[in-house]
Amino acid sequence: MKTAVYPGSFDPVTLGHYDIIERTAKIMDRVVIGVLQNKSKTPLFSAQERVKMLEEVTKDLTNVEVRCFDGLLIDFARSCNAKVIVRGLRAVTDFEYELQMAQTNRVIAPEIDTLFLNTNLKYSYLSSSIVKEIAEFGGDIRGFLHPQIAQKVIEKFAQGKNLETK
Ligand code: COA
pLDDT of residue 163: 60
CA of 87 to the centre of ligand 1 (A): 8
40 classed as catalytic: no
What tens digit of pLDDT does each residue of 133-165 get? Answer: 999 999 999 999 999 999 999 999 998 766 665
Q: With a 6 A CB cut-off, is 72 part of the ligand 1 pocket?
A: yes
Pocket lining: 126 vs ligand 1, CB cutoff 6 Å = yes
For range 69-84, the mean pLDDT = 97
What confidence score (pLDDT) does residue 159 get?
Answer: 86
Give distance in angstroms: CA of 166 to centre of ligand 1. Answer: 35
Reduced to 3 states (helix: H, G, I; strand: E, B; else coil), residue 64 is strand
Q: What is the Å distance from ligand 1's center to 165 Cα? A: 33
Half-sphere exposure of 143 (CA within 13 A, CB side): 8
Nearest to 38 by CA among 25, 28, 48, 47: 47
**CB distance 9 to 24 below 8 Å:** no
- CATH top-level class of 3-124: alpha beta
By CB atoms closer than 10 A (0-12, 13-18, 19+), residue 57 is buried
* 2-32 per-position pLDDT tens digit: 999 999 999 999 999 999 999 999 999 999 9
pLDDT, tens digit (0-9, with 9 covering 90-100), for 84-131: 999 999 988 889 999 999 999 999 999 999 999 999 999 999 999 999
